[in-house]
Structure 1
Amino acid sequence: MHKTFLLSLIAAFTLGWISVNTSHAAEGGSKVLYHVNLGNEQATDALRNINNHLAVDPSAKIVVVTHSKGVDFLLDGAEDENKNPYSGTVAKLAAKGVEFRVCQITLERRKIDPKKLIPEAKLVPSGVVEVTKLQTQGYAYLKP
């Protein structure tokens, strides 16, 4: 009888896991958090990865959370090492549903006026808290 209970319990967990995974697939795509905090080189990698991600999984829900030096690419006039403005790439990704979130604490500590952010960037109180919150909401964590 103890063995039967154990097998039933294993079956219940297995079915529950399958149910969770199929319901996620039915929602349409994955939920992914890209964490950018190291500067423009990392931001360039993240934007390339996100474009590739959406090419394979166009229904993915992607949120980019930035803090520290990671906010720099979302400032008006920011350019990559080849002098290409980030704003165009960010605007195209935002049009595909990608969200860009910026740490307010970083802006305050670095004395950056929030008005210097490009329109697609949205302020959140804390980048690290936002990363944590999204992970508890089932977002997969990626750090380019």
Structure 2
Amino acid sequence: MKKILTLIFASLISIGFTSMAQAQSTGSTKVVYHIDDAEAQGLKGLRNIRNHLDVSPQTSIVVVTHANGVDLLMEGAKDKKSSTDYAPLVGALKSRGVKFEVCEITLKNRNLKKDQFTLDADFTPSGVVRVADLQYKDGFAYIKP
């Protein structure tokens, strides 16, 4: 009897893992891109996201910015090396379903106002908490360009 129960239990566990793997493989990939330094990560990150969507257009992507990363989403922001405007790149990605979020703690710490940011930016109470929640609670993969 004990041997039968062990076999049944092992079969149920195997079925559970197989079902979970199948559910994950049929759903779209979810990714959070973490940007905390626009100068170092801005242009590279936006290009990574564009390339990501070119290869896997069904991917759900959230970009979370905090600290100096919020500069990426400020009105009139440009890449310092190439003078490339971020806004058209952000807008193009937004039209492909990418969500861009700015940390409100950073706004407070840097004395910034929401109206200093592009209309493509959304806001989150804490960038770090948002990144953690997306990973742990919502099953997002983590990328820091």
SS in 2 for 1:45: helix
CA distance in 2, matches of 1:45, 1:3: 57
Structure 1: which amino acid aligns with 2:53? L
Cα 1:2/1:52, change in 2 over 3 Å: farther
Cα deviations by residue, 1:78-125 (Å, 9 ceiling, x for unpaired) = 111211100000000000000000000101110112101001110111
Bigger mean CA offset, 44-53 vs 92-101:
44-53
Structure-to-structure mapping, 1:18-97, within 5 angstroms: 18-27=18-27, 29-80=28-79, 81-97=81-97
| Secondary structure of residue in 2 paired with 1:96 | coil
Distance in 1 between residues matched to 2:46 and 2:3, nearest whole Å: 52
SS in structure 2 of the partner of residue 37 of structure 1: strand
Looking at structure 2, the residues matched to 22 and 110 of structure 1 have their Cα atoms a distance apart, in angstroms, of: 45
TM-score, normalised via structure 2 length:
0.90
Q: Indicate the SS of the match to 1:34.
A: strand
Q: 1:39 to 1:6 in 2, by over 3 A?
A: farther
Match of 1:123, SS state, is: strand
In 2: Cα distance, 1:10 partner to 1:70 partner: 48
The C-alpha deviation readout for 1:22-51, integer Å capped at 9, x for no partner, is 223433x20111111123221222111111
Q: Distance in 2 between matches of 1:53 and 1:2?
A: 51
* Identity between Structure 1 and Structure 2 (%): 41
Q: How many residues align?
A: 143
From the superposition, tell whether residues 39 and 22 of structure 1 become closer, same or farther in structure 2 (CA, over 3 Å).
same
- Give, as a single letter, the amino acid of the residue that structure 1 aligns with 2:47: R
Gaps of 5+ in 1: none
SS at match of 1:79: coil
| Equivalences for residues 105-116 of structure 1 within 5 A | 105-116=105-116
Counterpart residue type for residue 31 of structure 1:
K
Stretches of structure 2 lacking an aligned partner (at least 5 in a row): none
TM-score by length of structure 1 reads 0.90
Name the structure 2 match of 1:142: 143
Shift of 1:55: 1.1
Distance 1:56 1:91 in 2: 19
SS for the counterpart of 1:137 is coil
